[in-house]
Structures are given as C-alpha cells and as structure tokens.
Amino acid sequence: QQEEWAKLLNEKTLSSDGTQVELVANIGSPNDLDGVLRHGGEGVGLYRTEFLYMGRDNLPTEDEQFIAYKTVLEGMDGKPVVIRTLDIGGDKHLPYLPLPEEMNPFLGHRAIRLCLDRQDIFRTQLRALLRASNYGNLKIMFPMIATLQEFRSAKAILLEEKANLLAAGEAVSETIEIGIMVEIPSTAVMADTFAKEVDFFSIGTNDLIQYTMAADRMNEKVSYLYQPYNPAILRLVKMVIDASHKEGKWTGMCGEMAGDEHAVPLLLGLGLDEFSMSATSILKTRSLIKRLSKVDMQALATEALQLATADEVLEKVKQIVK
C-alpha cells in the first residue's frame, strides 16, 4: 500500500473517468511545508495563521508575519496557497489580548468579527499578506463570514491597504484571489449571492456542522449530533458548490470532512473542486479517488441527498464503495 501511494506522489488527482480535483494541505506554520511536499500536496488549502499569534506575549509584527507568509509562498513554489486571516476567539485565546468573558464564545466576538473591530490588528496582517503576495500564488480567505456586509467590509479594508502599499511604491501581486470560509449556515444558504462577489469558497465543515446541528464540536455529550453525513449538511454543501460553479468560481473544503474516506466519494459526486486535509491523508485520498468514477459518485450523491438520516447515508456509501 505504501508503495502504491509513493507512486502517486507527483501525480495529478484524477477520478477513474478522468475528472481532476486538487488535493491540498492544512498547515499551521511554515514548519509544516516539508510534510506537505513529502506527501504530494498540490498546494496549501488552509494556513491557520492564528498559530503565529499564539504562544507568545505580544502581537507578531508586520515583518514577522511577512517572513512567515513569504516562506510558505516560496516553499510552495508557485502552487496555490490559501492563507486565512486571523481566526481568534472561540476556543483560541491570546494572553496579551484579553477578551471579555462570553456566555457563548463560539457564537461570540471572534474571527472576522474581532478583526473588523480591531482594525489595527487586521490591517497589519493584511499588509504582511499583500507584501508577501509577490513571492508565490497567494489566495486570501476570511473566516466566519456570516453576512455579505462583513465580506464587503473586509475586502474594502484589504483594497485600501493595497492602495496604500502601491502609493508607497511597494509591489503587490495583481492576481490574488479573495475568498471566504463557508462555515456559518446563513452563508451557505446565501451562497448564490456571495458567489457573485467572492473568488472562491472553502467550506469549513468543523464549524458548519456545529452551527447547523447546534451541537458544540467539543462537547462529548452531544457528539452524536455531530453528523458529517447528515443530509442537511450534504444539501448545504451542494448549494455552495452549485452556486460557485454557476458563477464560474471554485469551491474547496478545509474541514476534517474533506479527508474522510466515506465523505470523499460524496464530495467528488457533489463536484467539490479542492480537498484540503492533513498532509498525511493526501496520498491515501489520491489513491481512493483514482478508483472512483465521478459519474457513479454523482449518482451516489443524488441518492444520498434524498435519504432521511446520516446512518442511511453512511450505509449507502459503504455499500457502493467497497
């Protein structure tokens, strides 16, 4: 098995009937790049930048961030790199940025909400990203977008910082794609509207499942409700993918579901373009997709969308994909 996977290291990811998808990696630091390349990653689908801010006692400077982003972009040598802006709050806290206690931190002042409020922090990160854009194929992604207004505000700030840099004589890439994470149900439902304004979607199923099922992703008492195969989740995923394609945009997935062997057949059938997962899952997933026919998986997905429960969906997948 290891030998078969090794042969796939530098191959494209094609289904048995020739549909190509991209298998990329989730990373938390430039140190993870080595693993991405060793496991045949076709790019980075999610760089969680919050780790740059954690385990220290002050904010990272613009230059510190610039170096980290440039290292990742250069390391990937022109392959796509999706960098997510700061997603702090919820379960992640910074000792030097005290946030008020909240009754429901996962429904609270986190991620893009915090960044739009603390624009000093946000703008520093955006400048570092824009300056680093000259060194590779950068795509910028905003987390926890719930409304179109939030996306427009975040994008306007990004474009302002870009104009400032250009005016100061700095170079900025002209081909940076700007996308959002779809991890809040309102955004999945409104995907057709968002698709007209964003360059891409990346579905964050870790949060999308928690918010759709109203089940805390860390609470074992309600883990039975944390159901990736629930048809409600599959229907939301379908809405997002279809909406993006209608506008000529692409959709990826960077939640754990993207590397789940029983979800991959469904996601291929639903038309997902990019699967982002831990580097160690990439070759195994490439080998799986090679054995799946896109046409058959489309039929499987169509059936699954009409089933009543998560268990029925999982059963069906297991029946079809042996």
Q: Catalog residues that contact ligand PEP under the rule CB under 6 A.
A: 46, 48, 87, 183, 204-207, 254-255
> Could you give the CA distance from residue 25 to residue 79 in angstroms, rounded to a whole number?
12
CB 78 to Mg ion: min, Å? 27
Look at residue 22 and give the partner it binds from ligand PEP, Mg ion, none, a contact being a CB closer than 5 to 8 Å depending on partner kind: none
Residue whose CB is less far from Mg ion, 20 or 219: 219
> Could you give the CA distance from residue 291 to residue 44 in angstroms, rounded to a whole number?
24
The binder of Mg ion chosen from 207, 256, 273, 274 (CB under 5 A): 207
- Residue from 224, 231, 284, 226 nearest 255 by CA: 226
Helix (H, G, I), strand (E, B) or coil at 289: helix
- Residue from 247, 233, 243, 114 nearest 183 by CA: 233
> Could you give the CA distance from residue 289 to residue 267 in angstroms, rounded to a whole number?
11
- Say which residue the tokens 């000259």 belong to: 134
Which amino acid is residue 259, in one-letter code? G
Q: Tell me how many degrees the CA angle 186-190-191 measures, rounded to the nearest 5.
A: 115
Residue 30 interacts with Mg ion (CB under 5 A): yes or no: no
Residue 228 interacts with Mg ion (CB under 5 A): yes or no: no
- Residue from 172, 178, 60 nearest 125 by CA: 60
Q: Is residue 89 a contact partner of residue 114, using CB atoms and an 8 Å limit?
A: yes
DSSP state of 43: S
CB 255 to Mg ion: min, Å? 7
Helix (H, G, I), strand (E, B) or coil at 61: coil
Segment 150 to 189, residues that bind Mg ion, using CB under 5 A: 183
> Could you give the CA distance from residue 122 to residue 297 in angstroms, rounded to a whole number?
41
Torsion, Cα of 64, 68, 74, 80 (10° steps): -130
Residue 256 interacts with Mg ion (CB under 5 A): yes or no: no
Look at residue 255 and give the partner it binds from ligand PEP, Mg ion, none, a contact being a CB closer than 5 to 8 Å depending on partner kind: ligand PEP
CB 84 to ligand PEP: min, Å? 8
Residue whose CB is less far from Mg ion, 32 or 207: 207
Residue 274 interacts with Mg ion (CB under 5 A): yes or no: no
Residue whose CB is less far from Mg ion, 182 or 283: 182
Residue 89 interacts with Mg ion (CB under 5 A): yes or no: no
CB 65 to ligand PEP: min, Å? 18
Q: Is residue 126 a contact partner of residue 164, using CB atoms and an 8 Å limit?
A: no
CB 176 to Mg ion: min, Å? 22
Look at residue 205 and give the partner it binds from ligand PEP, Mg ion, none, a contact being a CB closer than 5 to 8 Å depending on partner kind: ligand PEP
Residue whose CB is less far from ligand PEP, 20 or 223: 223
Residue 204 interacts with Mg ion (CB under 5 A): yes or no: yes
Q: Is residue 196 a contact partner of residue 250, using CB atoms and an 8 Å limit?
A: no
Residue 260 interacts with Mg ion (CB under 5 A): yes or no: no
Residue whose CB is less far from ligand PEP, 147 or 206: 206
Residue whose CB is less far from ligand PEP, 19 or 276: 276
Residue whose CB is less far from ligand PEP, 135 or 142: 142
Contacting residues toward Mg ion, per CB under 5 A: 183, 204, 207
